[in-house]
Amino acid sequence: MPQITKLKDALYSQEFRNLVREVTGCGPLSGKKTDGSVGLYTQGSAHAGSIVASTLTTRSHLLLHDDSISSRLISYILYLPNSPADQSSSEVQLRPSASGSFLKGWDPKWGGSLELFPVENGEEVGLPGVKRVSKVDVSWGQIIFFEVKPGRSYHAVEEVIVGDGRQRLGVSGWYVPLARKRRLWD
C-alpha cells in the first residue's frame, strides 16, 4: 500500500500536473481532488472495486465508455504489465525487473489494448460508433493521456488473455480542473 500512495502522490504532484498541462494543453489541474484505480488482470482472481484496486479474471475486458463523471478533464493510464521471471514463451522481448523477480512487458497477442471509438455518424457529440478507429497496445511504463469529452471520448479495453502467471497491471485515473476561487460579487 505505501508504494501505491507514493505513486499517487507523484502522479498528482505539482511537477507532474505541470507536465500533463504541457502535454495536453489543458488549464490548471487540482492536486487535492484525486480520482484513480489500479486494475490487475490475472488468472483466477476475483473482481474488487475502484481505488485502490480492481482485479479482473482471464478473458476480461472493459466495456465501451467515455469517462464522463463529475468534473473529470484528463484521463490517464499507466501500464505496468508483468510475467513470471521464468517465462520464455513470448515472441516479444520481456525485460527483467531490477530485482529480477519478474519480467516487464506484454505481448499484444495477450490483448488488453486501449481501443478508441468514433462518435456515430461523424457527429460532434453523440452515441459511439461500433467499430474502433484505433488501438494502443500495452507497453511497460507507458502512460497515456486523453481529454475526457462527454459523448465523445469513447474507449474500451479489449479482451485480456492472461495465464502462465502473467498480469496486466494498469493504474488509471483522472485529473480535474483546479477549482476557481469565488469572489463575493460572483
Give the DSSP H or E segment for 18. Answer: helix 14-24
User: What's the pTM value of the predicted model, to 2 decimals?
Assistant: 0.82
- What is the per-residue pLDDT across 136-156, written as a single tens digit (0 to 9) for each? 999 999 999 999 998 989 999
* pLDDT recorded at residue 140: 93
* pLDDT recorded at residue 185: 52
* pLDDT recorded at residue 122: 82
Residue (of 45, 60, 51, 79) closest to 165 by Cα position: 45
- Among 91-95, 111-115, 160-164, the range with the most confident prediction by mean pLDDT is 111-115
Which residues lie below 8 Å from residue 9, measured CB to CB, with a gap of 6+?
none
- What is the per-residue pLDDT across 163-183, written as a single tens digit (0 to 9) for each? 788 888 889 999 999 876 555
Strands (E), the chain: 35-42, 54-56, 62-65, 74-79, 82-84, 95-96, 102-104, 114-116, 134-136, 143-147, 155-157, 167-175
* pLDDT recorded at residue 53: 43
Which triple of cell numbers denotes residue 115? 481501443
How far apart CA 122 and CA 125 sit, in angstroms, is 8
Neighbours of 81 (CB within 10 A): 27
CA 29 → CA 11, 17, 21, 37, 105, distances in Å?
Answer: 12, 6, 8, 18, 31
